[in-house]
Amino acid sequence: MFYRARKRFGQNFLQDARVVRHILEVLDARPGEALLEIGPGRGAITRGLLRAAGGLIAVELDRDLARELPRRLEGLGRLQVIQTDALRLNLADLPDPGPFRVVGNLPYNVSTPLLFHLLEQADRIRDMHFMLQREVVERLAAGPGGKTYGRLSVMVQARCRVEPLFQVGPGAFRPRPKVESAFVRLLPRHRPVYEPAAADCFEVLVLRAFSQRRKTLRKSLRALVPDGALEAVGIDPRARPETLAVEDFARLAAAVECAPL
Ligand code: SAM
């Protein structure tokens, strides 16, 4: 069937067999694993995953692609396609209890909200492997001190280990995206870096600090953190947010009371 890629669904289909092979190698899917693919599209990755694991659940927003996929991959394994928006996906409602190995060449226009949505359900996830815009992977993996380190790095690293795996050029996709891509592995931690009771406070502090990243922490956090609280947990109030490690934010969140956002 002729199919025109839909820009609004972020459709850039993988068409480089070497890249697909590389993805399948690093995933190393095994029979019996609970695989969940986000945005299977025309099945570039799905095909190999089905062969390796014998079954998977795929969540696809595009009605036409969702309808077509089982026909395309008929006979390769137990494929369950759920036609819905992955941003609304509740892992607890899926016909498999997990823990899931989540994989996707993600639509770049929704990749960050999707990451946050999945992280909220990280207790049901064993690992995640995503193709993302290279710049997003750099931000996910960045350590303190640089320009790429920010809210996304801190929020994700607090809950996951981030392993950038390899880079992929625009020529691997049809249509060609305007950006470079990279494949990344995220391994949820057993427990987040922050105290569970301080989760909301951690989020508020990180958001506030990085929304005014050129200000000192004393200024940007003035409304949330009482005088002396930064010094009390060993943080220089004149520091800027990008110099703080994830653990610094966690220590601060445990030490102060935050009003909700
Ligand atoms: N996995 C295929 C591949 O590698 O060739 C397609 C990747 S394409 C970059 C992204 C896929 O995600 C498309 O099939 C698109 O229709 C689907 N998609 C876009 N937004 C989505 C959403 N919110 N929920 C689920 N799928 C979505």
Number of domains composing the chain: 2
Q: Give the domain CATH number at 234.
A: 1.10.8.100
Pocket of ligand 1 (CB under 6 A): 9-14, 38-42, 44-45, 59-62, 65, 85-87, 105, 107, 110
H helical segments located in 100-194: 111-119, 134-141, 151-157
- Mean pLDDT, range 239-252, rounded to an integer: 97
Note whether residue 125 is domain-resident.
Answer: yes
Q: Answer for the pair 202, 250: CB distance below 8 angstroms, yes or no.
A: yes
Structure confidence at residue 2 (pLDDT): 55
Whole-number Å distance, alpha carbon 173 to ligand 1 midpoint, is 13
Structure confidence at residue 187 (pLDDT): 98
Q: Give the domain CATH number at 132.
A: 3.40.50.150
Q: Let me know whether 22 and 48 are in one domain.
A: yes
Q: Let me know whether 182 and 221 are in one domain.
A: no
Q: Is the predicted pLDDT of residue 131 greater than 70, yes or no?
A: yes
Structure confidence at residue 260 (pLDDT): 60
Q: Structure pTM? A: 0.94
| Measured distance between the N- and C-terminal CA atoms of the chain, rounded to whole angstroms | 48
Whole-number Å distance, alpha carbon 108 to ligand 1 midpoint, is 9
Whole-number Å distance, alpha carbon 37 to ligand 1 midpoint, is 9
H helical segments located in the chain: 17-27, 46-53, 63-72, 111-119, 134-141, 151-157, 199-211, 217-220, 229-232, 246-255
The answer to which of 69-73, 92-96, 242-246 has the lowest mean pLDDT is: 92-96
Q: Is the predicted pLDDT of residue 196 greater than 70, yes or no?
A: yes
Average pLDDT of the chain, as a whole number? 94
Q: Let me know whether 90 and 159 are in one domain.
A: yes
Q: Is the predicted pLDDT of residue 97 greater than 90, yes or no?
A: no
The answer to which of 53-57, 106-110, 184-188 has the lowest mean pLDDT is: 106-110
Domain termination site, one of 188, 209, 227: 188
Q: Let me know whether 45 and 141 are in one domain.
A: yes
Main-chain phi, psi angles of 115, to 5 degrees: -60, -45
Which range marks the domain in which residue 132 is found? 7-188
Q: Let me know whether 86 and 23 are in one domain.
A: yes
Best substitution site from 7, 12, 13 to test ligand 1's pocket, by max atoms within 8 Å of Cβ?
A: 13
Q: Let me know whether 30 and 156 are in one domain.
A: yes
Domain termination site, one of 149, 171, 188: 188
Instruction: List the beta bridge partners of residue 166.
Output: 183
Structure confidence at residue 261 (pLDDT): 56
Q: How confident is the model at residue 111 (pLDDT cuts 50, 70, 90)?
A: very high
Note whether residue 27 is domain-resident.
Answer: yes
- Mean pLDDT, range 30-47, rounded to an integer: 97
* Token pair recorded at residue 30: 């095994």
Q: Let me know whether 208 and 251 are in one domain.
A: yes
